[in-house]
Structure 1
Amino acid sequence: MPRSRPTEIEFVDVDDARLLAAAAALTDRGEGWINLEPIVDEEHQPMQAGPFAFLAGPSHDIPTVTWMPGRHQPGGETKPTTVGLQHAAGPRVARTLAASGLPLPEQWRVTQDHPRRGLVASVPAAVADPRSVLEWLLRAAASVCTVTTTGRWRAAVHDGRTG
């Protein structure tokens, strides 16, 4: 059975009530995910890659952030929240972010930091407040974005349900 279509939300600030309500609902259910991207005007869109671009791998001049709440386990335990950042900032973006004043928050654990696949981190449930996590992710994405943005963001909220 196919998954339901995502709900799109455009917003300016992490305190957007619709964004936070969506994150809270996913957190309560322990399923689904949110993909977020900065909005870029057409004149600032990156050039389309040539026919052999697949050899170089993906280029994420416009970064994509993914936030996935921790899954609820039998017995009441909740798995860590997982976050990701696809970017074009090169290898070891966690170090790049730290050098620019955006170190990963304490207790977050990097599980992947790869130039093509991006940065993935695990956030323990005890420190996985959606607003704080999303705020850091948006700041990180803005700092590695290589094109001019509008200052607005687009969130695609996937509820994780089928049908």
Structure 2
Amino acid sequence: MDLILWRHAEAEELGETEKNAQNDLARRLTSRGEKQALRMAAWLDRQLPDSARVLVSPARRCEQTALALGAKYKLRPELAPDATPAQLLELVQWPLSKSPVVVVGHQPMLGQVIAQLLGLKEGECTLKKGALWWLRTRERDGQCQTVVLTVQSPEFL
């Protein structure tokens, strides 16, 4: 199974008096974030097979990031900012899904999933805004392994 974890691009910041769950979900990409999303989407579009599913957090900034890809996607509450790695892995059916899955979501959950799948001692790995990690599961010598295919950042595209 291929699992592509894509962190939303740069979004507007909230002022101290504006911070609440409703306002957080409504945050939009900045103009820089829109450019990041377009650069990453152009690269990803050339790599993704047609069978890939795209699952997106209900946060506006994630949906805007996914829109840059120009593919069909589904908004999933299991990917909201307060979601857990277990919710994400159950949703994508890791490691059993037959088709590649792109998840557009948030830190720290994406980094926690990466750390878990790679067996990192630290509980979390940091993803830059707009960046992605492409992971693949395989079986070797009777053991299930997770392989990092690539890590991409919009600044290097």
TM-score (norm. length: structure 1):
0.27
Larger radius of gyration: 1
* Greater relative contact order (Cα < 8 A, sep 6+): 1
TM-score (norm. length: structure 2):
0.28
Q: Which has the higher helix share?
A: 2
